[in-house]
Structure 1
């Protein structure tokens, strides 16, 4: 009997994250829109604060504006991978936004070496 373990959750260290995810997170933290955008497929979608941004133009606009009115730091907490295409990164944010602190999941779906979907939520 063969057991399919491809959807099993596996804890992953920062250094073991897929390159697209690591590059995006570093670029997003430093607000490097150009570097972050290169990690997305042409038809990618990003959902943040309940709003979905589709395609590179909308994602670029979102990246340029996201959190721009606030100063904050991010701290990597943990990550879980599910199969070859799903990565859930938990980060702690602290800053001058309403509430001052938040733990957010960055849920990535990969298409090959690029991000095809990102959902940011508590």
Structure 2
């Protein structure tokens, strides 16, 4: 499966639990929607993912990727130390100039 470079980095930084490198995948004004919460900008995104990485130690196994223009949907098997693991989740991306502008995580 061929993935945009920023999505490959997104997955890689998740696996190595590097919250700073993960946040660098996003634009300065990026917005993330996950678990009923909204995180605005790189600083909030880094805090959100740092907490998630420490709490859940999750790993993503890509199952499918579909792209239409600047929008992409990654379907991935997500495993970690959270209730119900593993889960299949969808990551809805809006990519702008090689960085993630918007991300919404759904099941």
TM-score by length of 2: 0.90
- Aligned pairs, number: 107
**Deviates further, 44-53 or 69-78:** 69-78
| Bigger proportion of residues as helix | 2
TM-score by length of 1: 0.79
2:64 to 72, 78, 85: 78
Q: Which runs of 5+ in 2 are unaligned?
A: none
Q: Which runs of 5+ in 1 are unaligned?
A: 1-12
> CA–CA distance in 1 between the matches of 2:53 and 2:20?
16
Please say if 1:102 is aligned against 2:105. Answer: no
The Cα of 1:92 is off from its aligned counterpart by 0.7
Please say if 1:69 is aligned against 2:55. Answer: yes
Please say if 1:34 is aligned against 2:24. Answer: no
> CA–CA distance in 2 between the matches of 1:73 and 1:64?
14
> CA–CA distance in 1 between the matches of 2:19 and 2:57?
17
Q: CA RMSD in A?
A: 1.5
Runs of 4+ in 1 over 3 A off after TM superposition: none
